[in-house]
Amino acid sequence: MSTRKTSTPPGSTRSPRARRAKTPADAAAPAVVAPPQAEDLLRDPSLYLNRELSQLDFNFRVLAQAQDATIPLLERLRFLCISCTNLDEFFEIRAATVRHAQDFDVPLAPDGLSPVTVLRRIHERTAELVDAQYACWNEVLRPALADAGIRVLARETWNARQRRWLRAYFREEILPVLSPLGLDPAHPFPKILNKSLNLVVVLRGRDAFGRSGHLAIVRAPRSLPRIIRLPQRVSGGEHDFVFLSAMLSEFVEDLFPGMAVRGAYQFRVTRNSELIVDEDEVENLALALRDELVGRGYLRAMRLEIAADCPEPIVRELLRNFDLPDNAVYRINGPVNLNRVIQVYNEADRPELKFPPFQPRQLAGSDAMFERLAAGDVLLHHPFDAFTPVLELLKQAAADPGVLAIKQTLYRTGRDSPIVEHLVQAARNGKDVTVVVELRARFDEEANLGLADRLQDAGVQVVYGVVGYKTHAKMLLVVRREGRRLRRYVHMGTGNYHSGTARAYTDLSLMTADPDVGSDVHQIFQQISGLAPAIRLERLLQSPFTLHGGVLERIEREARLAAAGRPARIIAKMNALNEPQVVRALYAASQAGVRIDLVVRGACTLRPGVPGVSDNIRVRSIVGRFLEHTRVYWFGNDGAPETWCASADWLERNLLRRVETCFPILDPAIAARVYREALQTYLDDNTNAWELQADGSYVQVSPVDGELPHSAQSALLAGICG
C-alpha cells in the first residue's frame, strides 16, 4: 500500500511530489457524522462536494505536472498551457452555468450551496490557481527554458539589435492590421471578442482633429500570431521568441502619432460560450446553430484578466462595462494569454526536452478486417494500440462489394479526418451510408456543420440526432453480405472518432461481429434516425433508457451480496461523477460492506472516507502524459464479474439526457485484459495518482519505503508499445 503525502499549497518551496491541491471551500464544510442507513440521510448536503469546485480543482493537479522537475521541460510547459486553457473553458462553460442558475433560480445541487456562494468560491480558488500559474511561469519554467537555450524575451531584456528588428516587424506586419479606437461620445466602448487580446491605452495631447486624448482600445486581430520567433541572426539564439502583447505594449505609440502614451495595459475578457437553442421551437437545428454561432464570441462576460499595474479607475471602468463584480478581475503578472506560449512547445525542435516518441502497437491481420473480426472480438487500448484498425475497417468497408450499408455516429472528428474521406468514398461507391452528426458537440459546432454539409453533398444521409438529447454514443456499424446471409460488424468505443485524440487520450475500442451486439447497435441507429419506440436490447445498456437503471441495479446487487456475506466489489473508471442517485447507491453499498474503488479524472461530488457512510470507498485521479478518458465499470458479482465499457460518465447529463451506449466485454480473455490494463494498473499507480480526501482536497500518492514507483501509463507504454 502506498503512502499519501500531505502536500503544501501552491507556491510552496517544497517538492512538487508533496504538493496538495486543496479546495478551501469544500474543506470548510461541516464535519460529517456517520448517519443512520436511512436513504433520506444519504441526501445530507454535507455528504456532497460541489461539482464546479471539484472540476476547478482538477487544474491544480494538471499544474502540478508543470511543477514536477522529473518531467521533460517542454512537457512541463505544455501542462502549464493545458491548465490555462482548461481554466478558460471552465469559465466559458461551468462558471457560466452557475451564473445561469443564479439568474433563473435553478434548484440547488445536492451539496446545497447557493450559486452566489459557488461563484464566490470559484473566484477565490481561481485567484490561487492564477497566482500559481504565473509563479510557475515567471519563477520556474521561463528561467529553466532560458537555461536550456529557449528564450521568451521580456521587453526589458531586448538589446538594440533585437529592438530594431522588432520595431520594423511591428511596422510592417502588425501596425497595418490594427485599428485603434479612441473612446469619446462618438466612439463608445467597442464590443470585445471572447478571449481576444486587447490593450487599453492612456493618452495625453490632441489628435489631428484637435480632440483631446484620454483612453483608446487596441484590439489584436486573431490573424496575428501571438508569439513571434526572432531570426537567429538577429537574436543570437536558435529558439528566441517574443509575445505579441509585449510588442504591442512597447510600440503602441506608433499608433498615436503626436500624442503621448502614458500607459498601455493588456486585458482579456472570458465570456459565456454555451450555445442555447430551444430545439422544440426551431424547425432547422443546423440553421439555428449557425445563427447562434455568429454571436457566441459576445455573450455574457464571466472573467476579466488585466495587467497587474493597470490603474484602479481603469479596472473599475472595465468591470462596469463588462457588468462584472469586483472579484471577477484577475491582475496578471505576465501575458494575459499565457496559454499561447504553447507555440514555443510546437516550434522548439528539442526532442530531448519532450516525452520520448512511441509507436503504437499495430493489429495483426488488419489488412483483412472482416476475416479478423469473424475470428473473434478485438480490443484496442488507445493510444498504446494504434487507431488504424478502426480506419481500416471503414476503408475496407467502403471498397468491399459485399458491404451494403454503413452507419456511424460522429461527435468530434478533427480536421481532414480520414474517416470522413472513407464515408464519402463509400457513398460514391453506392453503399447506403447514414451518419449521425452531433451538431451540439461543444466548441466543434462550426466544424460539425461543415462536416454535415460535406457528407450530404456526397450523398450521405445525415441525421442530427434526437431533439433534447445529445448523441454522445460512439458506434460504427457495417452490414455485409456473406453468401446467403447478412452479417453485422461493429466498432464501439469510449472515445471519439478522432485520430488526433487517439494518440493523446486513453480510450478503449471494441470491434466485434457478435450477432446480438450487432442487432442492438442496428436498433439504436433506427431509434436515432427514425421514430422507433424504446426497444429491449439484448446486450447493451443505453441512455436515456436503461443505462442509469442498469448501473443502479448492479451497484445495489453488490450491496445485497455484501450484506449476505458474499464477495462484493465495484471498480469504475470515468472522467466525472455527480449523478446523485448513483452517489447514494454507492454510499449504501459502502455501508453494506462493498469495497469500492473509483478512478475519476475530474469532478467528483462523492465524498469518500466518511465514517459510517463512505469509509469503504476510495477515489483517485490519475494525471499523466495522456488524458485519461476511458470509461470502464466492473462489478464483482459474487465471483462472476461483469465488465462494461461506455461512452458515458456517471453524470446526470450522460445518464439521463444523452444518447449513450454501454457495452459488455463478453470474451473472458478480453475482459481480463480490460481489468488488468484499464483498472488494476491504475489502482497500483503510486506516481501519478491523487487521492480524494473526505474534506474535498486531493493528496498525491507516493511510494512507501522500499516500494518501487509505478506509473500506469508508463507501464502500458512499456508493455504494449514495447
Phi, then psi, of 24 in degrees rounded to 5: -60, -35
In angstroms, what is the C-alpha Rg of the chain?
Answer: 27
How far apart (Å, rounded) are the C-alpha atoms in residues 599 and 576? 9
The Cα–Cα gap between 397 and 416 comes to 19
327 has binding-site annotation: no
Residue 671: in which H helix or E strand, if any?
A: helix 668-674
The answer to whether the annotation marks 625 as part of a ligand binding site is no
* Closest C-alpha among 671, 673, 683 to residue 643: 671
601 annotated among ligand-binding-site residues = yes
Nearest to 129 by CA among 196, 44, 82, 59: 59
The CA distance from 666 to 476, in Å, is 18
321 is in an annotated binding site: no
Task: State the burial class of residue 39 (Cβ atoms within 10 Å of its Cβ: 0-12, 13-18, 19+).
Answer: exposed
Asked whether the bond before 611 is cis by omega within 30 degrees of 0, the reply is no
**Residue 505 annotated as lining a ligand binding site:** yes
The one catalytic residue among 381, 382, 422, 472: 472
Report strand pairing: 329-332 vs 215-219. Answer: unpaired
Residue of 571, 560, 620 whose CA lies nearest to 595: 571
Residue 105's DSSP bridge partners are: none
Is 472 an active-site residue? yes
Q: Count CB neighbours of 309 within 10 A.
A: 10
Helix (H) or strand (E) holding 201: strand 198-204
**Apex 412 CA angle, 380 and 495, nearest 5:** 25
For residue 582, give the H/E element and its range. Answer: helix 580-592
333 is in an annotated binding site: no
Residue with cell 488524458: 627
Contact yes or no for 567/636 (Cβ under 8 A): yes
* Binding residue ranges: 86, 412, 442, 505, 601, 629
Residue numbers in the known binding site for Mg(2+) are 412, 442
Annotation: binding site for ATP: 86, 505, 601, 629
Active site residues: 472
